Structure 1
Amino acid sequence: MLKTTSALASRRHMLKAAGLVIGAAAASHLGIKRASAASYPERPIKIIVPFAAAGPTDIMARILAQGLGSALGGNIIVENKPGAGGNIGIGYAAHAAADGYTLLLVSTAYVVNPSLYARIPYDPYKDFAPITELGSTPNSIMVTPRLNINSIAELIARARANPGELNWASPGAGTTPHLSGEFLKIVGGIEMTHVPFNGAAPAIQALLAGTTQVAVSALPPVLPFAQSGEIKVLAVTSANRWPGLPDVPTMVELGYKDFTAETAQFLFAPAATAPDIVEKLSAKSMEVLKTPSVVEQLRVNGYEVTAAGSQALRKRLEVEIPKWRDIISKAGIKPV
């Protein structure tokens, strides 16, 4: 059984705080007049990112905001609301005014959290209107070079020889990097001490500082440090090698045939947002995502563009939510 309950339980007080934030946002529903797509946007749009700045979701949001703002002829502001595995920011956005001026850009946490927490401040099926599936990135398993480990085999050997001695960082309990790290522990038959953070950026900083010796994160914020040699990436969890790290093997190559896991990014609006505005946002987002310069910018930052529209995203939710529920149940992780 995976030992994750204590890490998740430590976030209960953060969810209580989320209720206060959500209550304030919900009040803004009163008196809202729906905007029309023809005149939209007439003022700045805010994209809520429920994780820390400089993490993979934040990177995607800032690249998209620049292009989408130009495509819409308006300004887009990215606002980070991290905490509780993403629940604080997701809950805030769920109860924001449904006028098209508050959007949510979120990772796979959106479909994982309903199975990790007994109570979450949003209904993944009812509280949001899907806009676009944006892109995905593999997770990366990495170490500090000071550990003098150069392969997954060496990491497993060190961890087996010293059970529980190595600390490993993740962007938070229940994220796909966290679940990837737990899967590594299972397939390797090893014990390491999990140290969850409120996003990939602080997890990577802990690795750079030597607070932890190992980390698992989505690829985007890792690439600059991997390319500079400050971090040693031992493997990625995609089916194929990442072009920007051609010498780094996949876990599949290393003999772990079922070890694939990606962190996807999605764009949503509050559920009652006018359908014509949702349609406009979806069309403009996909237009931006298919621009060669944006595709290259995202690739350089560790993302593969998927650019699927609102209906495709809705269908993905219907598959992903029960899929992760089954994985988490089989892993023995109990909701808190």
Structure 2
Amino acid sequence: MTKTWRLALTLCALPGLVGAALLGESTSACAEYPDRPVHIIAPVGAGGGVDVMARLLAQALSERLHQSFIVENKPGAAGIIGTKYVIATPADGYTLLYAPSSIALSVVVHKKAPYNIDKDLTPIINVGISPYALVVNPSVPVHNLKELIAYAKAHPGKLNYSSPGVGSAAHLAGEMLKTEAGIQMVHVPNKGMGGAVLDLISGQAQVLFASVPALKTQGPDRVRPIAMAEKKRSALLPDLPTMSESGMPGFAVANWSGLLAPAGLDPKIVKKLHDEIVAVLATPEMKEKVKTLGYDLIESTPKEFSEDLDADIKRWGPVAESAGIVK
């Protein structure tokens, strides 16, 4: 090894690859990313779908890239705490964010947004959707969206709709349904999707935009699906028509989850992470795990993910404001 290369390898350990710049060498002289453990922050509690998906990807990336990808849970404030933690870290690819759609909803339900997604984060890939379905308690004598709207109009204010909490995707979806259908329903918030499903099963609520995986684990035979609240039919409930097919064009809500990084991440690292995850998701083993977890894959490009984030904010902002749930 020449003295020049020894010096380059030593200086490459300095921040900003100072050594390569001083020597006029390409940064390829330095170790290829990742050359040390990568931390993936999940801004949710352990054990849920987002957390499990993050850990599946972390394990697969560790095996493919021969470096540790470590998931850390930093829950709280609907994802704000973990998201702000990542935003404050260096944009070097060694601290990433695996987040659900609540990071976009947190922007629209606060008068003073906790962060600016466009300026503070680098989207890498929107991995998949945990689809939502509009469901009712079987005591409600309806079997499709048209019948539900007619029943609600005939019984104004008599239907309760549940949600995992104020400002959640299910809450905003309920408000959008009320507005677009011209009906009245009373919001009964819970502290999580599991509790919201139990509210529906017990009869405390009659209507819910429910996470399909939560339905499958807690009460698939004790509720009545009305419509899939997604752009297309879900592989999890292939016979259930979408809201668009049922008479509400464009109506869609789902809890997606994807990988982001602090703003300014090197595009080469963005591409590498994106391409590696796409390769991971293409394997039969991972496809089966994702299906079992209850996700429909998206596998968006960074540009498409950025557009999805902007669309969520533009769509849900007016809904939150008109419903009076902006904090």
TM-score normalised according to structure 2 size: 0.74
1:142 to 2:146 alignment? no
Is this contact kept in 2: 1:116–1:334, CA < 8 A? yes
Shift of 1:286: 1.9
Describe the superposition over 1:228-281 as per-residue Cα deviations: whole angstroms up to 9, x where unpaired.
414432221224432332342322232223423344322111225555443432
Which of the numbers 102, 122, 128 marks the counterpart of 2:95? Answer: 102
CA spacing shift, 1:230–1:189, aligned 2, 3 Å: same
Quickly say closer, same or farther: Cα 1:328–1:166, change in 2 above 3 A.
closer
1:242 aligns with 2:245: no
**Residue equivalent to 1:281:** 273
Give the corresponding residue for 1:335.
Answer: 326
Letter in 2 for 1:143: V
Say if 2:291 is the partner of 1:299: yes
Deviations 1:4-39 (A, max 9, x none): xxxxxxxxxxxxxxxxxxxxxxxxxxxx95697625
The answer (yes or no) to whether the contact 1:137–1:263 under 8 Å persists in 2 is yes
Q: Distance in 2 between matches of 1:333 and 1:165?
A: 21
Q: Deviations for 1:132-168, whole angstroms, at most 9, x for unmatched residues?
A: 1212343211234466764445544554455444432
Query: After alignment, is 34-43 or 174-183 more displaced?
Result: 34-43
- Out of 249, 261, 269, which is 1:269 matched to? 261
CA distance in 1, matches of 2:205, 2:16: 49
* Structure with larger RCO (C-alpha < 8 A, sep 6+): 1
Mapped pair 1:38 → 2:32: yes
Q: SS of the residue aligned with 1:295?
A: helix
SS at match of 1:268: strand
Distance verdict in 2 for CA 1:91–1:193, change over 3 Å:
farther
Q: Which residue of 2 aligns with 1:255?
A: 247
Tell me, yes or no, if the aligned pair for 1:34 and 1:274 is still in contact at 8 Å: no
Q: Using the TM superposition, give the Cα deviation of residue 188 of structure 1 relative to its aligned residue in structure 2, in angstroms.
A: 3.8
SS in 2 for 1:314: helix
Q: Which residue of 2 aligns with 1:14?
A: none
Matched, 1:133 2:122: no
Q: 1:258 to 1:319 in 2, by over 3 A?
A: closer
Conserved 8 A contact 2:146-2:247: no
Kindly tell me: are residues 239 and 308 of structure 1, through their superposed partners in 2, closer, same or farther at Cα, counting changes over 3 Å? closer
Q: Is the contact between residue 132 and residue 255 of structure 2 (CA under 8 Å) also seen in structure 1?
A: yes
Q: Is the 8 A contact 1:115 1:324 kept in 2?
A: yes
Match of 1:72 among 61, 65, 74: 65
Please give the alpha-carbon distance, in whole angstroms, between the structure 2 residues aligned to 1:78 and 1:260. 30
Cα deviation, residue 181, structure 1: 1.4
Once the two structures are aligned, what percentage of the paired residues are identical?
A: 35
SS of the residue corresponding to residue 86 of structure 1 reads helix
Question: Deviation at 1:327?
Answer: 5.4
Quote the offset at 1:87 in angstroms.
Answer: 2.1
Q: Specify the alignment match of 1:186 in structure 2.
A: 179
Structure 2 stretches lacking a partner, 5+ long: 1-13, 18-29
Residue of structure 2 in register with 1:200 after alignment:
193
In 2, the alpha carbon distance for the partners of 1:230 and 1:76 equals 40
**2:22 counterpart residue number:** none
- SS at 2:127 equivalent: strand
Offset, 1:117:
0.9
Mind listing any 5+ residue stretches in structure 1 that lack a counterpart? 1-31
Where do residues 155-174 of structure 1 align in structure 2 (5 Å cutoff)?
A: 155-156=148-149, 159-160=152-153, 162-174=155-167
Contact in 1 for aligned 2:234/2:296 (Cα 8 Å): no
Which residue matches 1:10? none
8 Å Cα contact 2:194-2:218 kept in structure 1: no
- TM-score, normalised to structure 1, is 0.73
* 8 A Cα contact 2:278 2:299, kept in partner: yes
Q: Which amino acid aligns with 2:129?
A: S
* Alignment correspondent of 1:219: 212
| Larger Rg belongs to | 2
Task: For residue 222 of structure 1, give the secondary structure of its aligned residue in structure 2.
Answer: helix
State the 1:69 CA deviation. 3.0
Deviates more, 1:319-328 or 1:117-126: 319-328
Q: Which has the higher mean CA deviation after the structures are superposed, 126-135 or 296-305?
A: 296-305
| SS of the residue 1:308 aligns to | coil
Q: Is the 8 A contact 1:85 1:172 kept in 2?
A: no
Aligned to 2:116: 123
